[in-house]
Amino acid sequence: MELSELTDHAREKFHILEEHKWADLPHLSVLTDPHTGRWVAFLMRQWDTDTGTEIQRCDIKCGSPGILEMSEPYLTKPFRMKGEKWVGVIFDESTRQDVVFRLFDQAVYREESQGFTVELDYAPFEQKIVHPQTPFPAGRQPAIESPGIPDKIRKMKRLYEYKPPSAEQRWKNFCRQGKFMEDYEDNLPWTGSYRHYFPTYHDLNLRQLRGYFTWRARLRKGEYTPIATSLAYIYLYELINGIGTDSPRDSLKKMREFEEGFLDAGFGDEGMRQNLRRWMLEYAILQNLPAEEARVYADPVAMETDHAFEVLRKPKKATDDEIVSALCLLAGDKFGQSPVVRPEEERGRRLFAEAWRYMSKSYTEGKKSFFSICFGRRRDFLWYPLANAVYWERERPDTVYALNLCRTYCYSDGFWMEIRYDPLYFNKKTFRAFLHETERCLRKYLKIGRSLQKKPEEAWITPYVEAVLAADRQREAEAARPRIQIDPSRLERIRQDALSTRDSLLIEEETEIEEEETAKEQIDGLEEPYSGILWDLLRGNPVEEYIKEQRLMPSIVADRINEALMDEVGDNVIEWDGKTLSVVEDYREDILRMFGGENR
């Protein structure tokens, strides 16, 4: 990671620009909170003549006690600044962007006091006339009101309350004035340039104000035209504060229309869309809209990652493809290129999924499941919704909002917390060990790709993978066993032969025949064609051709007959010597009695 990534993040998320305050020290710069004027980061660049590279470092005023306990090698004590509130950061290949951004965000939020709310009264306001003798705060003088000022704007300006400057007071004034000007329209276009961090109506001169309200009137009619980006932000601030909207859903609808009509047309700057998407999600959560509606505005990567956690945490409910896709997402592109899990390798994907299911069910450490060993538990992180926007929040009760099964937002005692899984607490070593050893075993088992080197430290995983492979071998063996096929035409032929025989016998023998048939049917479990084969063997008739016709194996025929007569005889009655089937002579008489005698 490089320092330029941090300065880009500060600019796009908080409208904070890098400041070079010392002309004779160009390698030093600061990032300053636009409201308090205090430094939140001190940046240092130094050229190393020995290596021919630039050394980049910074101190961040994140004020996190125990931050060094995170044991990240690039986090140190501050280099230039003093005090426990500062943390030093070394920028190199090991520096994790998400950790540094989180520390910087924490530093900015500490400067923005948002620990209380004020209930705004949007009832009609009483006009106050400021007399000349009324004292004004130091540095502020009453504006000279031109007779050309529209009466509505004149009244709006008088609503501004001059109190000790703070972000909270500015946001309160913006909402108060915004509600008053909610339906105002003007007709004096303005196309000048203007740049201001967290702009409000009070920051604009008369010409700019009238230009903004003229642009807004046209936008509300569907006519999107260019305007200075800072003024376009004022319109978004109105939407997230419910100014000019009928409901939270109407606010989101107008935000989407702004994205399509303004940003998709090429207006605005590169960071505006990023901010807008973030604000839409945060606004939906703050307004307690249904989670399925809020997820539409969430970062797709974050939602895919959360879904992967859901799948791997409860793999019994997931398909093989869902499990493998989740593993690929969390492991990275390199694992997804493995020949074992490529889309066309259905068997490899199935076995990989079964390996994860088996590990999840069988492997634990104490009370921790294998999923928890790899990915930890959900953690609490301070969450600052709409912190980089002009937003005034009304008082709210304690809230619990579940965006999905893996990400929850909680509000209590004036603070929001985001509860989620975080890569900082992943056990990547164990997770990668599972992936590597499972892939090694499957490549060998399936004879796919080149062999992978066996690592001694991953030997503890092997028995679990081998258990999955053993179950697969057994499944394959059972699938290979021949299935007994019953030929309906042969059964019909047998039935017809039996009827013919019955008709040819004497009437007095009918009862005896029926008794013999009943005796035959009482041989439990011996159905056709096995009963016919046994009767032919008793009569000395050849059975080899018939067995081939039925696509049976002689050994299986012997096993099936012996199994059926075991309870009656207590021993094997048919022998298979590898060439022919024969009846055990000691039991011939017993079998004939069971079938009704030799005359059958």
Domain limits, the chain: 3-111, 151-297, 300-377+421-476, 504-595
> Does 568 or 154 have the greater pLDDT score?
154
Identify the pLDDT of residue 122.
Answer: 36
Q: What is the pLDDT of residue 443?
A: 94
Are 150 and 210 spatial neighbours (Cβ–Cβ below 8 Å)? yes
pLDDT value for 131: 34
Mean pLDDT of 572-595: 83
To 10 degrees, the CA torsion angle through 103, 107, 110, 114?
-80
Task: Indicate if the pLDDT at residue 120 is higher than 50.
Answer: no
pLDDT at 346 over 80: yes
Instruction: Give the 3-state secondary structure percentages of the chain, helix then strand then coil, rounded to 5.
Output: 50, 10, 40
User: What does the pLDDT average to over 230-252?
Assistant: 96
Give the whole-angstrom CA distance, residue 51 versus residue 536: 94
Would you state the pLDDT for residue 107?
85
The helix or strand, by DSSP H or E, that contains position 546, with its residue range, turns out to be: helix 544-549
Q: How confident is the model at residue 490 (pLDDT cuts 50, 70, 90)?
A: low
561 pLDDT tier (thresholds 50, 70, 90)? confident
Please, which pLDDT band fits residue 571 given cuts at 50, 70 and 90?
Answer: confident
Q: What pLDDT does residue 118 have?
A: 31
CA-to-CA dists, residue 549 to 86, 296, 542, 581, angstroms: 87, 63, 13, 16
User: In the prediction, which pLDDT does 486 show?
Assistant: 58
Per-residue pLDDT averaged across 444-452, rounded? 92
User: Which stretch of 16-25, 363-372, 490-499 has the lowest confidence by average pLDDT?
Assistant: 490-499
φ, ψ for residue 41 (rounded to 5)? -155, 140
CA distance 469 to 472: 5
Gap between the Cα atoms of 426 and 308, Å rounded: 14
**Minimum mean pLDDT range among 27-36, 67-76, 295-304, 323-332:** 67-76
Is the separation of the CB atoms in 272 and 425 below 8 Å? no
| Over residues 27-45, mean pLDDT | 88
* pLDDT given at position 165: 66
pLDDT band at 572 (very low <50, low <70, confident <90, very high): confident
Higher pLDDT: 309 or 577? It is: 309
For 142-254, strand residue ranges (E) read: none
> Hey, which residues does 457 pair with through a beta bridge?
none
Please provide the average confidence, as pLDDT, over all residues in the chain. Answer: 84
Mean per-residue pLDDT for 26-32? 90
- Range 98-105 average pLDDT: 85
What is the per-residue pLDDT for 505? 53
pLDDT band at 356, cuts 50/70/90? very high
Higher pLDDT, 302 or 334: 302
> Is the predicted pLDDT of residue 501 greater than 70, yes or no?
no
Q: Give the separation between CA 150 and CA 77, rounded to whole angstroms.
A: 57
- Identify the pLDDT of residue 504: 60
pLDDT band at 229 (very low <50, low <70, confident <90, very high): very high
d(CA 89, CA 79): 9
- CATH number for the region 3-111 comes to 3.90.1150.30
Percent of the chain topping pLDDT 90:
49
At residue 435, the pLDDT reads: 96
The residue among 63, 68, 70 whose CA lies nearest residue 106 is 63
pLDDT score at 64: 61
The predicted model gives 569-597 an average pLDDT of 81
Query: In this model, does residue 146 exceed pLDDT 50?
Result: no
Which among 322, 298, 292, 293 has a CA at the least distance from the CA of 310? 322
- For range 354-376, the mean pLDDT: 94
User: What is the per-residue pLDDT across 278-297, written as a single tens digit (0 to 9) for each?
Assistant: 999 999 999 999 999 999 99
- Higher pLDDT residue, 64 or 278? 278
Mean pLDDT across 558-587: 83
Mean pLDDT of 208-220: 96
Q: What is the mean pLDDT of residues 507-527?
A: 52
Please give the DSSP secondary-structure letter assigned to residue 540.
Answer: T
pLDDT tens figures, 316-326: 999 999 999 99
The confidence score (pLDDT) of residue 149 equals 83
What percent of the chain has pLDDT above 70? 84
Where residue 167 falls among pLDDT bands split at 50, 70, 90? confident
